Chains A and B, each alone.
Chain A
Amino acid sequence: MPSNRTTRTFEWPKSDPDEVLDLCRELVEDPSYPSVKRWREAGGSVVGHFQVYFPEELAHAAGLLPIKIRGAILDATHAESRFGSYLCSILKTSLELALSGKLELDMFVSHPICDAARNLAAIWGRNVDYPCQILYLPQNANSAHSIEYLTGEYARILRSLEEVAGRRVTDADVWRAIEVFNLNRALLRELYSIKRERPWLLSAEEGYLLTALAGILPRDEHNELLEWLLPLIRQRDRKRQDRIRVVFEGGFCEQPPLDLIRTIGRSCYLVDDDLLIGLRWLLEPVPTGGPPLEALAHAYLESSSYSPVQHDLRKPKEKMLLERIDRSGADAAIIGAAKMCEPGLEEQVAYTGALDQHDIPYLVTEFQETMSSFEQMELQLETFAENLLFA
């Protein structure tokens, strides 16, 4: 199968940033994954990977399109019969994407990030006729052998990807992919620096859309888009308002609906967050040279962000949150968790304890990707913000 790496899924109207952002919104909200359809129509194959982190470079190197599966706003009609009602929504809506035929894949990969997700690949695999794999990221990130172990695990996954792609993947292929993704992460870091430094130039919703787009577009296409758009965003003439600056924590797996992010953005400046953190997991460029899989494994363990589903004694989550708040100059934190999300809800205890200890105001809330009423949430947020502004 030929490589599809240079295929573009869309002709972006590069004249008006707002028009481009409207198109982003359509694409991100569309559960039928138009970019995947176009990629497949051009003869390409697609690998879907479930939250939180997956080394997408491997799929890209094989000429496959890696797609971040982050649930969807739809009725999980089929998936409800596979998963219990006591489980989180993202598991069911993600599976529903496959069962309903909205998302056609050539391979699926998940990770045992929680007890519920542990069963996802097996159930997924029983209902589709393409390979489903589990990537076992190291449970003990502090083990001396974790990099070696993870390198081997990446090699195993790469062999499956090669089978789907129908071709061998060389080290050079992986390095080329790493360059593309290094650039992408650098652009996302730039996007987040706009959020931190001039949050009035980029709304919370726009920032999220541009990030989420990385999970559904060929990454070089996303790079091209951000390289064009980010300088224009910096040039925007928008009024700076007197809003409190907040960090949102709790969006590492199931995503709050776009309306909720918009609601937060109407009362506060969202200056940093962990939304779709897997796309920004590696914090520094993966250094070139040496075996690429080892370099990726090293980066995953040694220069990476944090989430409730990675256990690393060097990165206590509450300490990492305090650093995120400090680095972004936030006034307060919004501590969210998806309904039925055990890792997220458990971490709230540590987060709020640390915030209390450091006298940092916070608002605790729960969300569900399919929620549709935001009035209560908006009132809570505004009251929270006003209490800080007019203390």
Chain B
Amino acid sequence: MIFTAGIDVGSTYAKAVVLADGKQVLGTAMARTGFRLPEISRRVFEEALGAAGRREDEIAYVIATGFGRHQVPFCDVAVTDLTAAARGAAFFFPQSRTVLDIGGQTMKASRIDEHFKVRSFRLNDKCAAGTGAFIEKTAQYMGYQTDEIGVLASTSKDPAPISGVCAVFAESEVINHLSLGRPPADIMQGAIVSLVGRAVQLMKRVRMEPEYTLLGGILRFPTMAVEVQRHLGCAVNLPPGDMVQFAAGVGAAFLGYRRASLPDPVAGGAGRARRAHPAGL
């Protein structure tokens, strides 16, 4: 049996996944990323190992991904979030052709082919609007914690319009709505609607095709996926439970399994990358 690990160091959360034979998730761990990326990546790795009941020396290959991927000193290789997310989406839904990954500070839409290679992608602009940070900020302006967002938004009856142009300016919009007596739930859901509007624009720009798979921590708020479905007019895939947040880590661990299945992974030798891969992987 080949055990591999994926370490997804996101801007808000660091996640680790241990996978067996590229098929079964054995253990996961997650912690706030903070600013000591090598330390936090090591910590979540060890916690995931503990959850999986495995030792570090049993792990054949470790792939790092996420914005802090180059700060994982013990990894075998680092891959982009796009590649890891594509693989993560394919792990759960092999018919995935469009992936929307909304993280704490980035939003990425990508179109993938039948071999799960990224064919086209778009990222959000360099600002927090359209990301998890935008939703978190909106909640904080109203005095709510991040883990209350899901419940709060689900009680909304009439979402308030939020322009979503800028997470900083959104504060004044939130204050305006509050001063007009709009319920916090409607404001919260309004922010989600605004974010989804941006997300769907990104998906259109990559010439989206079904099936659609949604990933990222922000998808743990149930109204988010519902709103995307409403925009698209069709069902979307959502990895089960908290796997929405671990999907990129799963994808990284799966890619690690592919490399570990080769005769001499981490060979550092000539012609290694050009070598044909065993069929079926």
Contacts and interface: CB of A to CB of B under 8 A. Distances in A.
B277 to A, nearest CB: 6
A204 B74 CA distance: 19
A242 B77 contact: yes
B83 A242 contact: no
Interface string B114-138: 0001100000000000000000000
Contact of B268 (A199, A383, A388): A199
Interface of A: 199-200, 239-245, 266-267, 269, 328-332, 361, 379, 382-383, 385-391
Contacts of B274: 331, 361, 388, 391
Nearest to B70: A266
B80 interface: yes
B273 A331 contact: yes
A331 B76 contact: no
Nearest first, the 10 closest Cβ-Cβ pairs linking A and B are: A329-B270, A388-B273, A331-B273, A242-B77, A242-B76, A242-B266, A244-B273, A382-B80, A386-B83, A266-B70
Contact of B258 (A239, A383, A387, A390): A390
Interface of B: 61, 70, 73-80, 82-83, 117-118, 255, 258-259, 265-274, 276-277
Contacts of A383: 80, 82-83, 118
Given A239-B74, A242-B259, A266-B70, A386 B270 contact: no
Given A386-B83, A390-B83, A390-B255, A330 B76 contact: no
B266 A241 contact: yes
A267 B64 CA distance: 12
B11 to A, nearest CB: 15
A46 to B, nearest CB: 39
Nearest to A331: B273
Contacts of B272: 244-245, 331
- Looking at chain B's contact residues, the main secondary structure is loop
B268 A269 contact: yes
Nearest to B77: A242
Most chain B C-beta atoms within 10 Å of own C-beta, residue among A244, A382, A387: A382
A199 B266 CA distance: 12
B270 A331 contact: yes
Contacts of B271: 329, 331
A240 B270 contact: no
Nearest to B63: A242
B159 to A, nearest CB: 34
Contact of A245 (B78, B80, B117, B270): B270
Given A379-B80, A382-B79, A386-B79, A240 B266 contact: yes
Contacts of B117: 387
29 contacts: A199-B268, A239-B73, A239-B74, A240-B268, A242-B76, A242-B77, A242-B267, A243-B77, A245-B273, A266-B70, A329-B270, A329-B271, A331-B271, A331-B273, A331-B274, A332-B273, A382-B78, A382-B79, A382-B80, A382-B83, A383-B82, A383-B118, A385-B273, A389-B77, A389-B79, A389-B273, A390-B258, A390-B259, A391-B276
Given A382-B83, A390-B277, A391-B277, 17 more contacts: A241-B77, A241-B268, A242-B265, A243-B268, A244-B272, A267-B78, A269-B268, A331-B273, A332-B273, A361-B273, A382-B78, A383-B80, A386-B80, A386-B83, A388-B274, A389-B259, A391-B273
A383 B83 CA distance: 8
Contacts of B268: 199-200, 240-243, 245, 269
Nearest to A246: B273
Nearest to A378: B80
Nearest to A265: B70
Contacts of A239: 73-74
Contacts of A244: 272-273
A120 B75 CA distance: 48
| Interface-centre pick from B70, B255, B265 (highest chain A CB count, 10 A) | B70
A200 B266 CA distance: 11
A241 B76 contact: yes
A241 B73 CA distance: 9
B83 to A, nearest CB: 5
Contacts of B270: 245, 328-331
Contacts of A269: 268
Nearest to B74: A239
B78 A266 contact: yes
B137 to A, nearest CB: 24
A386 B79 CA distance: 7
A383 B74 CA distance: 21
A243 B273 CA distance: 9
A383 B119 CA distance: 11
Nearest to B61: A242
Nearest to A197: B268
Contact of B75 (A241, A361, A389, A390): A241
A299 B74 CA distance: 45
B273 to A, nearest CB: 4
Nearest to B271: A331
Among A242, A243, A383, A391, chain B packs the most CB atoms within 10 A around the CB of A242
Nearest to A388: B273
A367 B78 CA distance: 24
A246 to B, nearest CB: 10
